[in-house]
Amino acid sequence: MEELIAKRYIKAIKGSFDEQSMQTMSDVFNALASSFKDDKFVGIINNPNVASSDKLAILLDAVKSADSKEIDNLIKLIVENGRIDIIPAMAEEIRKDLAHTTKTYSGVIYSDSDIDTKVVEDLSSGLSKRFDSKITLEFMKNDFDGIKVDVEDLGVEINFSKTRINTQIIEHIIKAI
């Protein structure tokens, strides 16, 4: 639900901001979203005994460094409509929209064995050419038996499981006999 509301806000403001302003807004909302990981901050924001004007003052003070009337007005609108809790969702939606606009995506490579940085770079460049975008991949070691490449914002997931390949080879041999 929060994502849908956040998308409506982003759609409404997107037309009046250029790419640099959207990047600034993304930075500001990411900083605000990280504040929602602090229990004290969430306690104050969700406390019904704290006046909306005090919540507004806290949020405006947090975004003061951006020095943007548009961002200030957006924060005022969010507080006025009682939608403070959608700020993390807005940060994520702004990030996704900016990634889509600039065609710059990031993804993760999962595997149980170590992968050389050269292979990671080759996979990044290959996917970048394939999707006509700039894709940056990061390696994360986990217990996946094979290699899995996940670029969530593009909706791309590629995986090669050792177990699945072995099963398919066995099935193919059985069919051949």
Going along the chain from its start, the domains and CATH numbers come out as 2-99 (1.10.520), 103-176 (no CATH)
Measured CA distances, 176 to 52, 142, 168, 172, 173 (Å): 72, 35, 12, 6, 5
Are 78 and 55 within 8 A, CB to CB? no
Q: What is the pTM of this model?
A: 0.75
pLDDT one-digit tens code per residue, 135-158: 999 999 888 888 888 998 888 888
Judged against a pLDDT cut of 90, whether residue 2 lies above it is answered with: no
Type of residue at 23: Q
Measured CA distances, 42 to 30, 85, 164 (Å): 15, 9, 45
pLDDT one-digit tens code per residue, 115-124: 888 888 988 9
Give the contacts of 27 (CB within 8 A, at least 6 positions apart).
Answer: 66
